[in-house]
Structure 1
Amino acid sequence: MSTRIASCSCGQLTASVDGDPIRVSVCHCLACQRRTGSVFGAQARFARANVRFSGQGREFTRVGDEGGRCTFNFCPTCGATVYYTMAGFEEFVAIPVGAFADPSFPGPSFSVYEERMHSWVVMPDGIEHMR
């Protein structure tokens, strides 16, 4: 079983995961665009039982467009989000793909909020779409 380590920019807050992600997805919602500073968020979902955390984090809870609550855990020193959880799905942890800093990380299989996708963004062939 492989172990991957995600971290913030300064390395103070980390998440170590065992095994492959359950799902890798991209989200085009405006909140993810603001959170990442990019045109979409890319995240990997893991079983909570396979994730270990280290370092000090701060939390921010956001209410989504449809009322769901996400609690983001970020580094208080550099501000980078390292992981988040979703209310009602406590058995999972989502980790931004970029926090792994691994170009060989598996690509997304699912894309959501595509009605807010920038016109020049093209998703990979074969990806599942949810508009």
Structure 2
Amino acid sequence: MTVRHAACACGQLTVECEGEPVRVSICHCLDCRRRTGSAFGVQARFREEQVRPAGDAAVFVRTADSGRRVSQRFCPQCGTTVWWTLQREPGIVAVAVGAFADPGFPAPWVEVYRERRSPWAAMPALAGIESHP
């Protein structure tokens, strides 16, 4: 079974994910842009039982465009967001793909909020497109 390790920039906050993600997606929503400081975010979603966090995490709860809560877990030392949970998907944990620091991580197959994509941001061919998450 595949086991992947994600961590914050200082290494204090980690997540171990066992098995394959149920979804890997690129998101162009404004909250993902702000969370990453980039033009989009890339996330891997796992079932809760696949994920084992370790270390101290601070929590920031925000309201998504859907009106539901998103609870972001980040390192209180370096500020890196490592994972989050979504009220609309109980039992699912989303992990920032960049936190895996693994160039061989599976490519995204879903793109969300495509209508908000920056026109200069070229995206790979994806199997699925959702207009909203």
Q: TM-score, normalised by structure 2?
A: 0.95
Consecutive unaligned residues in structure 1, runs of 5 or more: none
Give 1:50's aligned residue.
50
Amino acid at match of 2:70: C
Give 1:17's aligned residue.
17
Matches within 5 A, 1:24-103: 24-103=24-103
Distance in 2 between residues matched to 1:76 and 1:126, nearest whole Å: 34
Consecutive unaligned residues in structure 2, runs of 5 or more: none
3-state SS in 2 of match to 1:31: helix
Distance in 1 between residues matched to 2:129 and 2:86, nearest whole Å: 21
CA deviations on 1:30-61 (whole Å, 9 max, x unpaired) are 11101100100100000100111100000001
Amino acid at match of 2:95: I
Give 1:119's aligned residue.
119
Deviation at 1:117, TM superposition (A): 0.3
Give 1:4's aligned residue.
4
Distance in 1 between residues matched to 2:26 and 2:110, nearest whole Å: 6
Distance in 2 between residues matched to 1:30 and 1:36, nearest whole Å: 10
Deviation at 1:121, TM superposition (A): 1.3
Distance in 1 between residues matched to 2:4 and 2:81, nearest whole Å: 16
Q: How has the CA–CA distance of structure 1 residues 36 and 18 changed in structure 2, closer, same or farther, with 3 Å as cutoff?
A: same
Distance in 1 between residues matched to 2:55 and 2:73, nearest whole Å: 11
Q: TM-score, normalised by structure 1?
A: 0.96
Amino acid at match of 1:102: D
Deviation at 1:88, TM superposition (A): 3.5
3-state SS in 1 of match to 2:105: coil
CA deviations on 1:2-30 (whole Å, 9 max, x unpaired) are 11010000000000010111110011011
Deviation at 1:129, TM superposition (A): 1.6
Percentage identity across paired residues of the two chains: 50
Amino acid at match of 1:12: Q
